[in-house]
């Protein structure tokens, strides 16, 4: 995982491209029952941290998960917030 600076002060671009020959990082969706927000977490450490409460109270896995993609694949963005 490589952190790349974002354009706006409140944004961050993170590259989750797995090095060639390595397992692809998992991506897991969380929902916060207090904030009514969704968040998509990528990578074992981030997922474990959120599940353990590192991001605050109320985060639950929704059950949606997928592999992050392959090297040379299509870049994606993730967003945090309430879809309303």
CA 60 to chain centre: 14
DSSP assignment of 33-47 equals TTTTEEEEEESHHHH
Residue 55 has pLDDT above 60, yes or no: yes
The answer on pLDDT for 22 being more than 50 is yes
Q: Is the dihedral of CA 19, 20, 23, 27 positive or negative?
A: positive
Tell me the mean pLDDT in the region 55-69: 88
Local structure of residue 7 (DSSP, 8 states): S
pLDDT(1) > 60: no
If we measure between CA atoms, which residue out of 10, 4, 9, 5 comes closest to residue 80? 10
**Confidence check: pLDDT of 64 > 60:** yes
Position 3 scores a pLDDT of: 42
Query: What tokens appear for 70 in the block?
Result: 């392959």
């Amino acid at each position: 995982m490589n952190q790349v600076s974002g354009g706006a002060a409140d944004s961050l671009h993170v590259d989750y491209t797995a090095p060639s020959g390595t397992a692809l990082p998992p991506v897991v969706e969380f929902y916060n029952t207090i904030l009514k927000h969704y968040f998509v977490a990528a990578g074992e450490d981030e997922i474990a941290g959120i599940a353990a409460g590192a991001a605050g109270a109320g985060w639950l896995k929704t059950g949606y998960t997928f592999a992050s993609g392959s090297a040379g694949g299509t870049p994606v963005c993730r967003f945090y917030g309430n879809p309303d």
